[in-house]
Amino acid sequence: MPVLVDFYADWCGPCKTMGPILEQVATQHQGKLKIIKIDVDRNQAVAQQFRVQSIPTLILFHKGQPVWRQAGVVPGPQITQALQAYLT
């Protein structure tokens, strides 16, 4: 199952904007996609490992490998388009 990781921080305005968008994407692809949120302030080592330099940053993992990455607020349809090749 593909995993979409949302790197965010509680104080980040654009990150708060992504919340409802990701909820909608999760609902649309329920059972086909897992979404995980990682707070960059609490998990700095993980953020550094994946070279997250701005937030929000979304990284899609398929079979354990990053296959898509996007920083900033991303519209739901753009996320869905990126997911299409990996949803089965």
Q: Is 14 a catalytic residue?
A: no
Catalytic residue among 3, 12, 26, 71: 12
Catalytic residue among 15, 25, 79, 82: 15
The runs of H, that is alpha helices, within the chain are 13-28, 44-49, 76-83
Q: Give which of 10, 3, 14, 24 is closest to 57, Cα–Cα.
A: 14
Place of tokens 């079979």: 63
Q: Is 10 a catalytic residue?
A: no
**Residues near 1 by Cβ (< 8 Å), separated by ≥ 6?**
32, 33, 34
Place of tokens 């997250």: 52
- Catalogue the active-site residues: 12, 15
